[in-house]
Every structure is written in structure tokens, then in C-alpha cells.
Amino acid sequence: MDAFYASAEQAAKPSLRGKAVVVGGLGPRGVVATASYEARVLGVHSAMPTAQARRLAPNAAYLVPRFSLYRSVSEQVMELLGRLSPLVEPLSLDEAFVDLEAGGVADDTASARRTGERLRTAIREVTGLSGSVGLAGSKMLAKIASEQAKPDGLVLIEPGTERELLAPLSVRTLPGVGPATGDHLRRAGMTTVHDLAEAGEAELVRLVGKAHGHGLYRMALGLDDRPVVAERDAKSVSVEDTFDVDLHDRVRVRAEVERLAVRCVERLRSADRSGRTVVLKVRRYDFSTLTRSETLRGPTDDPTVVREAAARLLEAVDTTGGVRLLGVGVTGLADFTQEDLFAQAADARELAARAETPEKPVADESGRPVDEEPARDSAEQLAARRWPAGHDVRHTVHGHGWVQGSGVGRVTVRFEEPGGPVGRVVTFRIDDPELSPADPLPLVRDPVDYSSWPASLPKSRSGPVSAAGGESRP
């Protein structure tokens, strides 16, 4: 999919069509998740600090991600891909490999191209968004072709032309060649894929090691026999938050860890999984990162068990000086649970005690009484948290809209819907009783029915062809 998050926002918000849109974290330490092509012209790109993006594109629209919308669109696209072949390997919400041979929809390069073009048409009619398709005989080449096809295009690599196409490309084009390896190869005088092929396998093994050197040489020759794997089973579930200001209060740190633990379990349950090992991640003020883990007696999806385990792990971590990031994860996933009856009993006792006893202040490490939320957020922070920029709202009089911004006790909303005209802007008090958060509306109200697709596509007789599409990002 092309600039997926940003394109979805432009489709959902008529006033943003054709304008620079940046989706990501909006705080002082926020990072760009996706930038629209209009923003990219100005120098904004994925993984860039949002503060830097604002300097490059001060007039762009900066929005907080709406993952519920992106997931729903992704499901629509993946369903279309699943109709092409039983072998679909999702890489992210907006990218997947598809083995067209297994689906019987590619007879030769001509029929493969027709399939790719019909897929692009289907994606646009169902989601309202554009996708780019790369067609080739291997996953690596299909991925490269899809990058060359962007935006909103299709590139097919003809069999026999692989080495010619790869030769002038940067070594960074190949999978597994990151900044460090790329720099190492550059110092050795290798900047293009042609240079790697000419150097030979023995020299690459000497430079980067046996396993990596062997794989690098094969890729430089255009060889990639990795199969399309239909199921990519998640090995862990985790959530993390980076804080705008370092956390120094130990009570606040613990409260954030427990909150993250509950969010992690919610994500775990939504995937119908349980986990055996709880992992705590702490990034301190000096950017040093610590991880601690605890393995339970059995897999669980009990929020109390995970919360208490994460809290125990925190006790072994020195947070003196401040904490900039916290994360809680669960590994050792399973599709069953082994309930911890002691934790359940403790949870029941805790709930009963809360019902019978009024909330009391607690004390920090110095013995000073503090509230349950010791570090109170400012009114601006509370408003931004309640009304995230770009998120959906509904007003009892004006209808559906989205948050343009909030501050000074006010929230500004533009009332418009996907497919409609540019809407009007109205400002309300942040506590206006007639204004409430809402779920995203579908990007296409009446999508074309593709339930029988692709029955009319040609059947395959021979030759594997893979298709890939998506947005590369760190």
C-alpha cells in the first residue's frame, strides 16, 4: 500500500486531500510513522523525529495514528490477496508476499501482469486507496519491483533480466544490508550490487562472515529460494511508551508499568493467545536500555498475573536519574492458559477491598504522601490525550468529525466524512457534553463486491510468480 497511514487519513478527511500529512507521535520525542508523498517532497520520511519534520513541513497536518482504521483496511486487502492464493505471507499491515503459482492465477508473465493490474483495481474499489505491485520469480525481486513501482504502479521483472536489473542498484537494496553492513562494504569499495557479484563469494565471506557472505552473494546474483510462508506466527506480544518528559517518581513509574501490563494483556487476548514469560523493558535517561524477564509456571492471559510479574521485575531495576521509555511484553506464546488460582484470589481480594475501603493516599520512597497519580499532567496534556489530533468524534448537533487540535481548554473539530465535501471547523470546550469520541467511518461506503473474484482469472500451468507490495520502514 502507498504511504498507507497517511493515504488512509487523506481518504478519510476530504480537507487533507493533496496536502502534506504526517502520521506519528506528536510529543517532543515523537517519531514519524508515515508521511504522505506531498510531505516527502519537503524532506519528511518515516522514522524521522516529529520535531524535525515540523521544521521541514510546518504547514503539514500532524495526526496521531488510528490503528483501528488501518487494521480494518488491512483486513480488506488481505482478504483480496487470500482470494488469489492460499499462500499469503503478511509482513505488516500494508505489505505481503503472495505465491500466485499456488493460487493458479499466473500462467505466464502476461497473465501475471493482468492479475497484478486487476488486484490494484480491486484494492482501490474496495478500500479507496492505492497499492503498488511487484511481480517476479522470487520474494526478494518482487519486493524490489514493488519499491520501483511506487506510487500506484506495477513493475514486473522478466525472467532472465534479474542480474541486469540488480547490477546498478545500491547494496542497501538487498535484504539484510543495513547501515552498518552497507558502510562496511562501502569502505571495501562495494557500493552497488554489481560490485558484490564481481567481488565473489569468498571475498564477501571474508568481509561479513560465512553465513551472511554466502547469502549476500546469492542475492547479488538474483537468487532467492525463500518460500512464501502462509502463517507467520507471532513469538511475542508487547507494548511500550516513550514519555515526553523523563519520569523520576518511582510511584509514577510503577503505575505506568502496571498500565502497560494491562494493555499488553488486552492485546494478548485479542489474538486469542496466552504467554509464559513476562518481559520488562526500561530505557533510562542516558539511553541505556535494560530488560528483565520472569517465567511463570504456565501460560496465562490473566492481567493480574502479568501486572504483578512486571511490578516484581521493576523492583530489580534502578530508575535513578529518570526513565524515558517503558515496555511490557509476553513471550512463550500458547493458545491455552494455565490459570494462576493464587493470582485470581488476590485479584478478587483486591477488588473487594477497593469496594469496602475508600481510596487513600500512598507514600513515595521518601515517605511523602502522594496521590495515586503523583505526577499530574497539565491541562494541555490531558486535552491532547482525550482529543488526539486526527481522531474521530461525534457531536449531537454537527455529526461526525475529526480533531484538528486542542489546547487552552478548547478542542477544534472539522466536521466532514469520507467521500464528502470539505467540512466546516468548530471549536468547543474540551468538556463539552455534546462532544464524544467516535469510531472511524469506512473509507468507502459502498465498495464493489469481490466475493466471487478472481474466478475469471487464468489458471496456472507452470512457473512460480510472487507479488509483493508495501511500504518499507524501519
CB 295 within 8 A of CB 334: no
CB 390 within 8 A of CB 23: yes
Nearest to 346 by CA among 410, 391, 303: 303
Is 240 marked active-site? no
SS3 call for 69:
helix
SS3 call for 294:
strand
Catalytic choice (9, 95, 162, 417): 95
Give residue 466's pLDDT: 54
DSSP 57: -
330 Cβ contact list (under 8 Å, min separation 6)? 236, 237, 238, 264, 265, 268, 275, 276, 277, 278, 279, 306
Q: Whole-angstrom Cα distance, residue 404 to residue 37?
A: 20
Partners of residue 362 on adjacent β-strands: 370
C-alpha cell at 471: 511500504
pTM, two decimal places: 0.74
H/E stretch holding 331 reads strand 323-334
CA 137 to chain centre: 28
Query: What phi and psi, each to the nearest 5 degrees, are found at residue 212?
Result: -70, -40
Q: Whole-angstrom Cα distance, residue 114 to residue 94?
A: 21
22 Cβ contact list (under 8 Å, min separation 6)? 6, 32, 34, 35, 36, 39, 44, 50, 53, 57, 60, 61, 62, 63
Tens-digit pLDDT profile for residues 152-210: 999 999 999 999 999 999 999 998 888 888 899 999 999 999 999 999 999 999 998 88
Give residue 383's pLDDT: 60
Give start and end residues of each alpha helix (H) in 85-130: 100-103, 109-127
Give residue 467's pLDDT: 58
Give residue 343's pLDDT: 45
Q: How far apart, in Å, are the Cα atoms of 8 and each of 128, 446, 469, 474?
A: 8, 16, 16, 20
Give residue 337's pLDDT: 55
Q: Please give the torsion angle defined by the CA atoms of residues 258, 260, 263 and 265, in that order, rounded to the nearest 10 degrees.
A: -70
Nearest to 299 by CA among 326, 258, 265: 265
Give residue 444's pLDDT: 92
The residue ranges of the chain whose pLDDT is under 50 are: 339-345, 347-349, 351-352, 354-375, 458-464, 471-474
